Amino acid sequence: MNTPIEDGNNHLRYAEYVLGVLDADTRAEVAHEVLVSGEAATAVALWQRRLMPLTDTIREVTPAPYVWARIHDALQLDAPARVAPRKGLWDNLQLWHWLGIGASAVAVALLVVVSLPRPTTTPTVVAAGYMASTIQQDNGSTGWTATMDLQHARMVVVPATPVAFEQGRAPELWLIPAGGKPISVGMIARDKPTTLTLDPALLAQLGPTAALAVSVEPIGGSPTGQPTGAVIAKGAIGAAPDAGGKVAMIGDKPTDWTSV
């Protein structure tokens, strides 16, 4: 695309890179050059200095508080010491993957027990820790698994298998209190874990009598505040095992512990 004649000025490509007009392949080439060549890095830095002041005209927008919470979690920045005994569980990526793939709530509960540290060292600090829900599709297969961390007011929703959505549609998660109207928890990803912050109003409604449901909504969420599309998956909320190693079974009887 850039013949030597067109690109008579050596640094023009770096300018185009900073401006952002190059296609993906050419961008990657220049990005690589910047890494290996000091000259390229300097040229790009000069163009950044020339052009970046344009961003002065962009209106600043404060991001929602959960973005920092997500960054904090992803980088495993220091957490308060009292949650340390649980950190292993909450941050265990393999467990989340497994939660997403394993369809049976029993298996989920069992795995959690197996993977918990032995309760010999620390007494249980938190009384009501986690709640969980297996959100099943109509055909019986698991759509998502939700785990709620009550102490930190957050919920992680892991897809079991990516559900297909038509263009412009996305899954929205709802909390349905017993006998009450659905309350939007938030948009969730169909193909990767989503972390949601639970506001106090939602937190107050969480309990064994409430349920979770997923409906098909426009990308930005239901315009009415109530589900507008088909409900494609539902699940009851149960207590998740606490750090002491006790298990509240979700939805089925405990069988064959040893085989897990």
Partner 1 sequence: MSATTPTEREELNQLLRRTAREDQAAFAELYKRTSSKLFGVCLRMLRDRGEAEDVLQETYATVWRRASSFDASRASAITWLVTLSRNKAIDRLRQHREELLGDPSRMDETVDEQPTPAAGAEASQEYQRLQHCLDELEPQQQSSVREAFFTGATYNELATRCKVPLGTMKSWIRRSLMQLRTCLDQ
CA–CA dist 123, 243 (Å, integer): 9
Which residue of 10, 32, 39, 52 would you call a contact of partner 1, by CB under 8 A? 52
Question: φ and ψ at 241, to 5 degrees?
Answer: -60, 140
Question: Per rule CB under 8 A, is residue 9 in the interface with partner 1?
Answer: yes
Which residue of 177, 218, 229, 251 would you call a contact of partner 1, by CB under 8 A? 218
Which residue of 158, 187, 202, 214 would you call a contact of partner 1, by CB under 8 A? 187
Near partner 1 by CB under 8 A, which window of 69-77, 84-92, 144-152, 173-181?
A: 69-77
Q: Are 145 and 103 in contact (CB under 8 A)?
A: no
Q: Are 220 and 112 in contact (CB under 8 A)?
A: no
Binding positions for partner 1, 76-105, rule CB under 8 A: 77-78
Question: Per rule CB under 8 A, is residue 50 in the interface with partner 1?
Answer: yes
Give strand pairing partners of 217: 170
Q: Nearest to residue 130, comparing CAs of 103, 163, 108?
A: 108
Near partner 1 by CB under 8 A, which window of 56-64, 91-99, 136-144, 208-216?
A: 56-64
Residue type, 49: R
* Rounded least distance, CB 200 to partner 1, Å: 22
Question: φ and ψ at 198, to 5 degrees?
Answer: -100, 120
Which residue of 10, 32, 37, 51 would you call a contact of partner 1, by CB under 8 A? 51
